[in-house]
């Protein structure tokens, strides 16, 4: 299974360590096409790429993926854009949202029945939601 993981990059890198943990969990279930999302030095590493190169690379990965998993706690225009493309492609999508942050997930996500949403309050509960979601995709 090829997994496209999405998380905030330019919208804020506060959760990069969490992304790394999620990516490590996802790798138990398949190939993560976007492993770089968890790299804390990502913004420095991508300075050699143009915005067009980043966009085209990521869209190619999204096209190639079997499923998409998005960590949506940190708002991100890019993640929202990727979610819309995944919906247009009829990909199975899991949106993860941490309830410990005192925020609310956008109504543009919660109001769209296409998306599978998992609210979590620990990495353990996030990993459980991921496992349940991915197991349904295999069956």
Q: Residue 62 has what pLDDT?
A: 97
Alpha helices in the chain (DSSP H): 16-26, 42-45, 51-64, 77-88, 107-110, 123-138
What range does the domain containing 115 cover? 2-138
Give the mean pLDDT of 92-112. Answer: 96
Q: If pLDDT is split at 50, 70 and 90, which confidence band does 53 have?
A: very high
The CATH number for 92's domain is 3.40.50.450
Q: What is the pLDDT of residues 103-125, one digit of tens each?
A: 999 999 999 999 999 999 999 99
Average pLDDT value over all residues in the chain: 90
Walk across the sheet containing 2-6 and list its strands: 31-32, 2-6, 67-71, 92-98, 116-120
Q: What is the pLDDT of residues 2-19, one digit of tens each?
A: 999 999 887 766 788 899
Q: If pLDDT is split at 50, 70 and 90, which confidence band does 69 have?
A: very high
Q: Are 86 and 62 in contact (CB under 8 A)?
A: yes
Sorted by sequence, the CB contacts under 8 Å of residue 22 that are 6+ apart come out as: 5, 7, 38, 69, 71, 96, 123, 126, 127, 130
| Total domain count, the chain | 1
Q: Residue 35 has what pLDDT?
A: 84
Q: Are 104 and 84 in contact (CB under 8 A)?
A: no
Q: What are phi and psi of 31, to 5 degrees?
A: -95, 125
Cα–Cα distance measured from residue 69 to residue 126, given in angstroms and rounded to the nearest whole number = 11
Q: Are 115 and 91 in contact (CB under 8 A)?
A: no
Residue 95 has pLDDT above 90, yes or no: yes
Q: What is the pTM of this model?
A: 0.91
């Amino acid at each position: 299974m090829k997994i496209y993981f999405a998380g905030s990059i330019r919208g804020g890198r506060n959760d990069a360590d969490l992304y790394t943990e999620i990516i490590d969990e996802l790798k138990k279930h398949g190939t993560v096409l976007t492993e770089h999302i968890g790299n804390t030095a990502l913004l420095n590493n991508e300075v050699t790429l143009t915005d067009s190169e980043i966009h085209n690379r990521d869209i190619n990965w999204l096209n190639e993926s079997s499923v998409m998993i998005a960590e949506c706690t940190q708002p991100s225009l890019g993640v929202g854009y990727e979610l819309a493309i995944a919906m247009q492609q009829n990909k199975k999508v899991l949106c993860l949202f941490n309830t410990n942050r005192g925020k609310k997930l956008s109504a543009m996500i919660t109001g769209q029945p296409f998306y599978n949403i998992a609210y979590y309050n620990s990495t353990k509960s996030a990993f459980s939601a991921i496992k349940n979601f991915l197991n349904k995709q295999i069956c």
